[in-house]
Amino acid sequence: MEHWQVTYLGNRQIPRELTEFELATFFTFSAKERALIDARRGDLYRLAVALHIGFIRMSGRTLDAYRQIPKVLWNYLGAQLAVDPPDLGTLRTLYETCSHAH
């Protein structure tokens, strides 16, 4: 582990501001990870899985569904997955949107 990565260990939420470097480092996925993400049914579930993988990589923890997700991160994930990013703030809202869509 690189020295600069220690800063994020144990975080319970995503920082409000993310640099391009942080987005690329924690929220860009390998082919194997993409296969796992793409196996999910529904665009919003794929976004959620990608968000969780990136946050675990960043902090070593799971993400609380009530925490705000920066719009820049939704946009970054949406661009990677070729999915329209949601216009919402929390992961809980994303899951509620998914459940109402079915």
Residue 1 lies in a domain: no
Residue 2 lies in a domain: no
What confidence score (pLDDT) does residue 41 get? 85
Residue 48 lies in a domain: yes
Residue 7 lies in a domain: no
- DSSP secondary structure string for all residues of 21-60: HHHHHHH---HHHHHHHHTSSSHHHHHHHHHHHHHHHHHS
Residue 26 lies in a domain: yes
CB 69 within 8 A of CB 45: no
Single pTM value for the model: 0.78
| C-alpha span between 35 and 4 (Å, rounded) | 29
What confidence score (pLDDT) does residue 94 get? 60
Number of domains in the chain: 1
Tens-place pLDDT, residues 19-33: 999 999 999 999 999
3-state secondary structure of 66: coil
Cβ within 8 Å of residue 71, ≥6 positions away? 85
What confidence score (pLDDT) does residue 65 get? 61
Residue 85's domain comprises: 17-101
In this prediction, the residues of the chain whose per-residue pLDDT falls under 50 are 102
Q: Which tokens in the block code for residue 23?
A: 């987005």
Residue 34 lies in a domain: yes
What confidence score (pLDDT) does residue 60 get? 86
Residue 8 lies in a domain: no
